[in-house]
């Protein structure tokens, strides 16, 4: 009969890693990488939500009867948006 396989790390606690070891550097790199990835994800979500909010404002202020807008009408709408943003902040 073959020998039974021994389970690794059964009953053992995690080994302490020396702070200057390669393994510690690897773990630190991974942690920094995850932090950076999380930060970029949050920044992008914030940026997209601001753009979505602005587009929603434009959509709510468009006239549903108009199919096309002239350059002047579009500029007026943009000016109203810029005033809206100034009042908001």
User: Is 76 inside a domain boundary?
Assistant: yes
User: Is 71 inside a domain boundary?
Assistant: yes
User: Is 32 inside a domain boundary?
Assistant: yes
pLDDT tier for residue 86 given thresholds of 50, 70 and 90: low
What is the C-alpha to C-alpha distance for residues 19 and 51, in angstroms, rounded to an integer? 44
User: Is 7 inside a domain boundary?
Assistant: no
User: Is 17 inside a domain boundary?
Assistant: no
Higher pLDDT, 8 or 59: 59
pLDDT at 41: 98
The overall pTM is greater than 0.75: no
Contacts of 57 (CB under 8 A, 6+ apart): 81, 84
Number of domains in the chain: 1
Higher pLDDT, 6 or 31: 31
5-11: list long-range contacts, CB under 8 Å, 24+ apart: none
Higher pLDDT, 46 or 3: 46
User: Is 6 inside a domain boundary?
Assistant: no
Tell me the residue range of the domain where 71 lies: 22-88
């Amino acid at each position: 009969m073959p020998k039974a396989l021994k389970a690794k790390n059964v009953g053992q606690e995690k080994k302490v890693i020396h702070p200057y070891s390669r393994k510690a550097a690897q773990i630190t790199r991974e942690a920094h990488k995850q932090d950076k990835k999380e930060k970029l994800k949050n920044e992008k979500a914030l940026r997209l939500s601001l753009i979505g909010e602005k587009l929603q404002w434009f959509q709510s202020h468009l006239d549903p009867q108009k199919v096309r807008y002239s350059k002047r009408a579009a500029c007026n709408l943009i000016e109203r948006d810029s005033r809206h943003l100034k009042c908001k902040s």
